[in-house]
Amino acid sequence: MPVLVCQLRSSRICCQSCKSIFVHGSELPIFIGLKDVSARSRLSHPRRNIVLIRSRTLHIYSFYLASARIFNWQYTILLSLFQLFRGKKHNVLRKRIDSCDYDLDQLLLGTILFTLLFFLLPTVVVFYLTFACSRMAIISLKAALDTLLACLNHFPLFALMLRIKDSQRLPGMSFYHF
């Protein structure tokens, strides 16, 4: 019961503070209606929707970056460990693959790491593909909204509505009958 009294008092205070704005009787429904109209006008603007999509999908973008980096890291390590099995290594200075003799401990550690990364590869690939597809879907949605915004900005809506309503007011509508 005290919560209801508190809510009524706060709505009375809100109505009394908005008394100078509203002229007639029931101010609260008009106030709520004005809030609803302003919220709809904010959400109906296409450029703001694109910004909302960017801010609301930031976590998907960060997961995509993380999964892409993990996939790239795992892929380069697997290639390096595969060269270890072949008895070769990548020479960074000469940018080529040279022969190398490895000890038994190095081969055993390389085998264990290769096996571990190879069996984890399908999981990483699935995560990467999931977030890459969702990223592409978001990019496609943003591109569609940008295209819609460009079409709405360049569409001659006023001229078409004027032509339907009162075509005599449009310039260039003079006809010559011989």
Per-residue pLDDT, 4: 40
Tell me the whole-structure pTM to 2 decimals: 0.59
Beta bridge partners of 97: 90
Q: How confident is the model at residue 122 (pLDDT cuts 50, 70, 90)?
A: very high
Q: 14-57, pLDDT tens digit by residue?
A: 445 444 444 444 444 544 544 444 544 554 566 677 778 888 88
Q: What is the rounded distance in angstroms from the CA atom of residue 165 to the CA atom of residue 118?
A: 70
Please, are residues 81 and 38 in contact by the beta-carbon 8 Å criterion? no
Q: How confident is the model at residue 169 (pLDDT cuts 50, 70, 90)?
A: confident
Per-residue pLDDT, 164: 82
